[in-house]
C-alpha cells in the first residue's frame, strides 16, 4: 500500500532555525526508499523553497504558492503547472478595494510588484530582499499573480470582507493571517486552488488513493489539505483552529522533529 506524505515547511518540517534536521531527513528517506512518496507543499514561492527541496534530496514533485504552482525539478518531461489570477481581475479588485488598503503586493521569481510597499510584509515571501521592488498601483502591472497580499485598514475589515464575498464568490477566496490596531493582513487567491487541489493532482500523478494521503501543517493556509487528507495532522505548535479540524496532532512540535517521530511510529520504522 503506497502513501503520499505531504509536509508543509515553515512551522512544520523546518525547525525554528529554518532547517530540516538530520533525523527528520533520515526518516523521510526511509519512507521514500520503501516506496512511498514524500512531497513538500508550501506557501513559499519556488525560489524560496528550491534550496530546501534540494537539501532534502528526495526527487519528487514540489508544491509551492499554496498550491498555485506545481513543479518537478528533476523530471524534464514534467510541465510546470501554475494557476494565475487573471490580470483583469487583479486590476478590477485593486481599483475597487484601494480605499481599504494601506499596502498590497505580489511577486514572481525576479520582482516584487507593490502598492505602497511595506518591508514588514517580507515575512510572507522568502528572499524578497533579493528581488527588485517595483512600486506603483497594482492596476498598472501586466504581470499575473498566483496570490496577492493585502494590508487592509483595521476599520475597513468588515467592508472589505463583505465586498469580497459579494463580488467575488466562487472566483476569489481570502484568508486573514493576522491583525493589529492599524491593519489586517490578507492573502487573496483563486477559490478553486489550494494545497489540497495540488495534492489531489499529485496523488493521481503517483497513482495513490486519496485515503492513503497524509498531510502535516501548522497554519491557516493548511486547512484545506488537512481536511483533504487521511489523516490530516496538525503540528503541536499549530494554530488552535487547525488542531480542531485535524484528525490527529503531533506529539512533538516542529523544533522537536514532530513530523519524523509521527511517521516513524505510523510506518513502524523502528
Grid coordinates standing for 16?
A: 525554528
Asked if residue 137 and residue 75 are part of one domain, the reply reads: no
pLDDT of residue 131: 72
Asked if residue 167 and residue 156 are part of one domain, the reply reads: yes
Q: Name the domain boundary from 139, 166, 190.
A: 190
18 backbone φψ class: left, alpha, beta (φ>0; ψ -120 to 50): left
Looking at residue 180, what DSSP letter applies? -
Q: Which helix (H) or strand (E) holds 269?
A: none
pLDDT of residue 184: 94
Asked if residue 154 and residue 96 are part of one domain, the reply reads: yes
Asked if residue 211 and residue 164 are part of one domain, the reply reads: no
pLDDT of residue 190: 97
Q: How many domains does the chain have?
A: 2
User: What CATH number is attached to the domain comprising 213?
Assistant: 3.40.50.1000
- pLDDT band for 121, please (50, 70, 90 cuts): low
Q: What are residue 115's DSSP bridge partners?
A: 104
Q: Name the domain boundary from 190, 213, 240.
A: 190
Asked if residue 124 and residue 169 are part of one domain, the reply reads: yes
- Helix H, strand E, coil C: the string for 113-149 is EEECCCHHHHHHCCCHHHCEEEECCHHHCCCCECEEE
Q: Name the domain boundary from 172, 190, 208.
A: 190
DSSP states of 49-104: HHHHHHHHT--S-EEEGGGTEEE-TT-TTPPPEE--B-HHHHHHHHHHHGGGEEEE
For the chain, percent of residues with pLDDT exceeding 70: 96
Asked if residue 157 and residue 102 are part of one domain, the reply reads: yes
**CA geometry: angle 186, 81, 208, nearest 5 deg:** 100
Residue 213, SS3 per DSSP: strand
Q: What is the pLDDT of residues 155-208, one digit of tens each?
A: 999 999 999 999 999 999 999 998 888 899 999 999 999 999 999 999 999 999
Write out the residue range of the structural domain in which residue 100 sits: 87-190
Asked if residue 102 and residue 74 are part of one domain, the reply reads: no
Is 89 exposed, middle or buried, given 0-12, 13-18 or 19+ CB atoms closer than 10 A?
Answer: middle
Amino acid at each position: 500500500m503506497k502513501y503520499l506524505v505531504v509536509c508543509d515547511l515553515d512551522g512544520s518540517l523546518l525547525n525554528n532555525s529554518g532547517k530540516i534536521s538530520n533525523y527528520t531527513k533520515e526518516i523521510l528517506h526511509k519512507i521514500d526508499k520503501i516506496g512511498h512518496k514524500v512531497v513538500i507543499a508550501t506557501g513559499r514561492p519556488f525560489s524560496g523553497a528550491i534550496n530546501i527541496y534540494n537539501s532534502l534530496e528526495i526527487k519528487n514533485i514540489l508544491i509551492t504558492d499554496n498550491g498555485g504552482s506545481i513543479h518537478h525539478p528533476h523530471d524534464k518531461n514534467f510541465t510546470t503547472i501554475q494557476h494565475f489570477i487573471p490580470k483583469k481581475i487583479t486590476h478590477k479588485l485593486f481599483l475597487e478595494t484601494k480605499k481599504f488598503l494601506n499596502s498590497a503586493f505580489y511577486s514572481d521569481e525576479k520582482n516584487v510588484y507593490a502598492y505602497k510597499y511595506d518591508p514588514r510584509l517580507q515575512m510572507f515571501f522568502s528572499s524578497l530582499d533579493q528581488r527588485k521592488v517595483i512600486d506603483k498601483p497594482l492596476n498598472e502591472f501586466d504581470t499575473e499573480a498566483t496570490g496577492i497580499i493585502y494590508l487592509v485598514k483595521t476599520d475597513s475589515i468588515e467592508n472589505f470582507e463583505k465586498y469580497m464575498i459579494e463580488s467575488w464568490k466562487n472566483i476569489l477566496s481570502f484568508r486573514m493571517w493576522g491583525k493589529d490596531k492599524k491593519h489586517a493582513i490578507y492573502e487573496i487567491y483563486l477559490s478553486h486552488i489550494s494545497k489540497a487541489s495540488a495534492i489531489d493532482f499529485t496523488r493521481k500523478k503517483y497513482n495513490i488513493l486519496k485515503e492513503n494521503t497524509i498531510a502535516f501543517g501548522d497554519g491557516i493556509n493548511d486547512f484545506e489539505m488537512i481536511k483533504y487528507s487521511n489523516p490530516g495532522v496538525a503540528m503541536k505548535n499549530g494554530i488552535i483552529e487547525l488542531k480542531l479540524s485535524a484528525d490527529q496532532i503531533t506529539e512533538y512540535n516542529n523544533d522537536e522533529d514532530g513530523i519524523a517521530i509521527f511517521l516513524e511510529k505510523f510506518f513502524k520504522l523502528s
